[in-house]
Amino acid sequence: MLRKGRLNMADREVYSITIAGVSRELPKFEIKKGVKIAILNILGDTELVEASARELGALLQPKGADYLVTPEAKSIPLAHALSVVMKIPYIVLRKSYKPYMGDALKSETLSITTGAPQTLFLDEKDRHDINGKKVINLDDVISTGSTLQGMRLIMQKANAHVVGEAAILTEGDRAQWTDIVALGHLPVWVE
Amino acid sequence: MADHEAYSIVIAGVHRMLYKFEAKKGLKIAFLASLGDTELIQASARELGVLLKPKGGDYLVTSESGGIALAHALSVVLGIPYVVLRKSYKPYMGETLKSETLSIATGALQTLFLDEKDRALINDKKVIIVDDVISTGSTLRGMQLIMQKANAHIIAEAAILTEGDKEQWAHIVALGHLPVWIV
């Protein structure tokens, strides 16, 4: 039985894509009335993450960055794998504040999709590490750009210099994302 | 940051100074910042991989966010996939399984979700639970509860470090132990 607003595994539509030589069938999902997107979930997909990190690493190495920066939580495996490939550390922007994060920096942006406020925090120790350093903003998928905007804002506050922005895939308006280093692009389906 | 007390520890051959902070009045803990510490995660995954290989697990299971990098690195070492239990429900997760446990440390309700696609994967499979630190055990309990609901068989539980009551965690495959300080 199909529950409203939820996926049904059996009769779900898929979008086929090959990323860094790895083929995947992404489930399509109606995100709002009349708009379908394909869902890439890299959590647990070790093969795809390792292949993507190798390809992105080759593209990003010439940028000479000191740190990778990524938001919690879905893109953490990619940041880790890319950190291994590029031999530079990564920093995770958290979605909630924890007491051990000290005097953290914060950004608030509005999600274009849901209208909900999104908050990102940069830990005090990480703040000190990236001050005056060259960083690459990294995410699994760059879609509406609201998370990217939050990352840019925090990097500016932290006095870090963004020398590149990268994702496994971009999504939506392809012309908007020409500066993003990515391995492919996802369409959205408007019915 | 300069005036933080630190606790010195060597994990899988990697030396780290963990800063101590007061988790609640009168109780200090040492904080392992494993997110972003690629050297520590890679070294820990290699050592845990050697210890866990003989268990013959089909899947690793971890929880968002602390265990994700370790699960990925361990997945590479062991050549088996991993599943992440999420802290919040997203519409694309479908018919999830859910567990609710009380955090011993804060008293707050912790919720974990197992994605519909992952449910199908681990049904009747042998799983190894991993986390960066196993401390009070409330996250571990939540993970155990979901595995039971998902009909997955837990054949081992592992962490980089255990914390607190050492005897309680004698069965955990870990690379070290953190004390807590009553002040």
Over residues A17-44, the pLDDT tens digits come to 999 999 999 999 998 899 999 999 999 9
Q: Which residues of A touch B36 (CB under 8 A)?
A: 79, 83, 89-92, 126
ipTM value, please give it.
0.94
> pLDDT by residue for chain B (183 residues), tens digit each?
445 789 999 999 999 999 898 888 899 999 999 999 999 999 999 999 999 999 999 999 999 999 999 999 999 999 999 999 999 998 889 999 999 998 766 678 999 999 999 999 999 999 999 999 999 999 999 999 999 999 999 999 999 999 999 999 999 999 999 999 998
Best interface-test mutation with B: which of A80, A121, A122, A140 has the largest number of B CBs within 10 A?
A80
Beta strands B153-163 and B126-134 are parallel
Name the band, by pLDDT with cuts 50, 70 and 90, for residue A4: very low
Nearest by Cα to B63 from B84, B79, B93, B35? B84
Taking a C-beta distance cutoff of 8 angstroms, is the pair A14, A27 a contact?
Answer: yes
Nearest CA in chain A to B62: A44
Put simply, the answer to whether B72 touches A5 (Cβ < 8 Å) is: no
Q: Collapsing DSSP states into helix, strand and coil, what is residue A49? A: helix
Give CA–CA dist A82/A87, Å, rounded. 8
Burial annotation B78-116 (CB, 10 A radius, 16+ → b, else e):
bebbbbbbbbeeeebbbebbebebeeeeeeeebebbbbb
Looking at the predicted structure, is the pLDDT value of residue A12 above 90? no
State the distance between the two ends of chain B, measured CA to CA, in whole angstroms: 20
Q: Which residues of A touch B35 (CB under 8 A)?
A: 76, 92
For B72, the closest of A8, A81, A126 (CB atoms) is A81
Q: Collapsing DSSP states into helix, strand and coil, what is residue A180? A: coil
Chain A: give the shortest CA distance to residue B2, in Å: 10
Nearest CA in chain B to A83: B38
Taking a C-beta distance cutoff of 8 angstroms, is the pair B126, B153 a contact?
Answer: yes
Put simply, the answer to whether A46 touches B72 (Cβ < 8 Å) is: yes
Residues 17-36 on B with a CB inside 8 Å of A are 21, 23, 31, 33, 35-36
Q: What is the pTM of this model?
A: 0.94
Bridge partners (DSSP) of residue B156 are: B128
Nearest CA in chain A to B93: A7
